């Protein structure tokens, strides 16, 4: 594994503790084997832990030099005899649980080497309220009547607008801008996130486009993580809401009045037009666009590079342009391919 310059190498840990952290069953191997670190399956050496859940990497697994492997029961027979086997239902999830124990610093977008407390080079309005344990790095600006909860870190050059409320144990990344927003606990906003700017609203006409004032807010609930350079417009006449536990990738655009439910996942470059609604546990692949005022039902999944023009029922699996049920989409793609092949034979 490449020398971990930015993250300290973990201390050796016994395999029995890895089993416990992973929620796994030790199928083969000695529980007192020492694990020294983690590695990709193809680069692992003695003392390393790996995981396997994709048959595309079967050749690399066969020749791995790892000491132990997290694997689903159906793939146990593919692990070399000299490698300890930790059987788990979801190897990738178990891998994440183990990494969180070995590299706790990597779990939050902050750097423990940076300043603690409030930097003298930060600008904080006297009316702002900061609870004990808040960290404010150099160059940050905190506006009038803002309130920030204990344990929250405001990174360098970030701007927190007037009357913004931020909960406890949050991290607001460098160069972020937060205005007209109410943020819950344990929220992570990565570098360059912009939350609460006015939405794109104009009354268009032949005499020019008249700007419509945007007077709503952004509400971000607990345990949300939002990737770098994502933008969240405040509501026009109601709130833009992001539900608890939702995870949003980099460079996502969320328009005004959008309501995102709990535990949704939005991959990079998704665009949500104004006033659309995502119910709980919706997952949307990268570079997908959703038209305004559309509702996507609970648990629906939208494939990458799709366009959603109409409501999607709960549990639906859709894809394409315009988005349609995936089985129909695959049939259409196959039919077009066959037509193209016939044309090339003519």
**Domain limits of the chain?**
13-107, 176-327
> Does the CA dihedral 249-250-251-255 come out positive or negative?
positive
Residues in CB range of 194: below 8 A, 6 or more apart: 176, 177, 230, 231, 232
Q: Which CATH class is domain 176-327?
A: mainly beta
Interhelix angle for 91-102 vs 15-22, to 10°?
120
Give me the CATH topology for the region 13-107.
Answer: 3.40.1390
pLDDT at 114: 59
User: Are the CB atoms for 147 and 166 separated by under 8 Å?
Assistant: yes
| DSSP one-letter code for 236 | S
pLDDT (0 to 100) of residue 112: 56
32 assigned to active site: no
Identify the pLDDT of residue 1. Answer: 46
User: Does the pTM of the predicted model rise above 0.85?
Assistant: yes
Q: Which 3 state secondary structure label does DSSP give 194?
A: strand
Distance CA 87, CA 255 (A): 43
Kind of pairing, strands 289-290 and 307-308?
Answer: parallel
- Annotated catalytic residue within 180, 209, 256, 293: 256
What is the arrangement of strands in the sheet containing 37-38, beginning at the earlier edge strand? 25-28, 84-87, 68-71, 48-52, 37-38
CA distance 28 to 246: 37
Q: What is the pLDDT along the chain (346 residues), one digit of tens a residue?
A: 456 567 788 999 999 999 999 999 999 999 999 999 999 999 999 999 999 999 999 999 999 999 999 999 999 999 999 999 999 999 999 999 999 999 988 887 666 545 678 999 999 999 999 999 999 999 999 999 999 999 999 999 999 999 999 999 999 999 999 999 999 999 999 999 999 999 998 999 998 999 889 999 999 999 999 999 999 999 999 999 999 999 999 999 999 999 999 999 999 999 999 999 999 999 999 999 999 999 999 999 999 999 999 999 999 999 999 999 999 999 998 998 888 888 766 5
Concatenated DSSP letters for 106-167?
A: GGSS--TTS--SB-TTSEE-TT-EE-TT-EE-TT-EE-TT-EE-TT-EE-TT-EE-TT-EE-
pLDDT at 243: 98
pLDDT score at 346: 55
pLDDT at 113: 46
């Amino acid at each position: 594994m490449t020398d971990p310059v930015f993250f300290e190498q973990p201390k050796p840990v016994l395999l029995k503790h890895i089993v416990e952290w992973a929620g796994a069953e030790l199928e083969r191997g000695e529980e007192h084997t020492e694990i020294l670190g983690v590695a990709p399956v193809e680069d692992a050496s003695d003392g390393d832990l790996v995981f396997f859940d994709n048959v595309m990497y079967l050749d690399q697994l066969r020749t791995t030099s790892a000491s132990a492997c997290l694997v689903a029961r159906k793939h146990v027979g593919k692990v070399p005899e000299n490698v300890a086997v930790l059987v788990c239902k979801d190897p990738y999830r178990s891998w994440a649980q183990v990494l969180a124990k070995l590299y706790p610093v990597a779990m939050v977008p902050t750097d423990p080497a940076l300043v603690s407390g409030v930097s003298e080079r930060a600008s904080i309005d006297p009316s702002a309220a900061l609870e004990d344990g808040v960290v404010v790095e150099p160059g940050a600006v905190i506006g009038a009547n803002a309130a920030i909860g204990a344990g929250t870190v405001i990174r360098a050059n970030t701007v927190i607008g007037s009357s913004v409320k931020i909960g406890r144990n949050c991290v607001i990344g460098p160069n972020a801008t937060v205005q007209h927003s109410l943020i819950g606990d344990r929220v992570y906003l990565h570098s360059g996130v912009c939350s609460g700017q006015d939405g794109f609203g104009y009354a268009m006409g032949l005499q020019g486009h008249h700007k419509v004032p945007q007077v709503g807010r952004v509400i971000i609930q607990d345990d949300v993580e939002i990737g770098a350079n994502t933008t969240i417009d405040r509501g026009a006449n109601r709130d833009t809401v992001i539900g608890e536990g939702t995870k949003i990738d980099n460079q996502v655009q969320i328009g005004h009045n959008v309501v995102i439910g709990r535990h949704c996942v939005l991959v990079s470059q998704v665009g949500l037009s104004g006033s659309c609604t995502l119910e709980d546990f919706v997952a949307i692949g990268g570079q997908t666009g959703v038209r305004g005022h559309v509702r996507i039902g609970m648990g629906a999944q939208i494939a990458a590079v799709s366009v959603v023009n109409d409501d999607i029922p709960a549990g639906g699996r859709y894809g394409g342009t315009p988005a349609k049920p995936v089985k129909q989409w695959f049939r259409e793609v196959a039919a077009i391919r066959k037509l193209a092949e016939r044309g090339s034979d003519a």
